[in-house]
Amino acid sequence: RPGERNPIEGKFGQAKNGYGMNRIRARLKNTSQSWIASIILVLNLVKLAGMALPCLSFSAWKDLKNMLRNAIRQILEIQKIQNQPRELSGLVL
């Protein structure tokens, strides 16, 4: 089919231009195949890392929200304690 090869050819282009697959100059067939397999592994790892980042951020959002809420509460408590002498003296409205 016409549209099936486009993503595959695009990945080969990315591997050649971005990861140096076009600069492999190994003398043995096995060595060349090892280099190609390593580059494809890196491509897959980069893709998985890009997919994992949003998943991690969504799962960690609740914890981050609770941390920020607690930090803001602590800051407000510190401000309240620091302002108590002024409130008693009538300097703070």
Q: What are phi and psi of 4, to 5 degrees?
A: -75, -35
Distance CA 86, CA 92 (A): 6
Whole-prediction pTM = 0.49
Cβ count within 10 A of residue 22: 10
Domain ranges, ordered by start, for the chain: 8-83
Given a contact cutoff of 8 angstroms between Cβ atoms, the answer to whether 81 and 73 are in contact is no
pLDDT for position 85: 65
Per-residue pLDDT of the chain (93 residues; tens, 9 = 90+): 667 778 878 888 888 888 787 787 878 888 888 888 888 888 888 888 777 777 666 666 677 778 878 888 888 787 777 666 666 666 555
